Structure 1
Amino acid sequence: MPSISPEVISHSLSISPAYKPVRQKRRSYDAERYEAMHTEVDKLKTIGFIQEATYPIWLANSVMVRKSKDG
């Protein structure tokens, strides 16, 4: 979102360096969901809305939720 300052919309996680990283089990998705996730992430990365981040302790897996057609 070009009109909003990164200082307003950016955040960081306060993580204690005393904790070791824990890798979560990789979830498997069907081909339709995987393709939808991949397309959406690529689109957001291309326009600069998101960027890759590394967190040393935890990060939740993606959860796909289908939007309702009502709006």
Structure 2
Amino acid sequence: MGGALDGLSIGYRTVRGRTDAKTGIRSLIEVDLWEISVVTFPMLPEARIEAVKSGDRAALLSAIRPETAGMRVG
């Protein structure tokens, strides 16, 4: 894998939110979380996995591998 899958895709529906009129910053107060997926190219470049607990790494990789077996890198 070599770090090819280190992005996150987070799917949600905003239940309550607001946008600050002065700064334009949107705050999500309440959301319905639909899914979180590990992806190669996240829409938000900062949505990256930076660390995985060493004890959980094997479980994470074995969960990802079946889904990515047919992918080509390069």
Normalising by structure 2, report the TM-score.
0.26
Greater strand proportion: 2
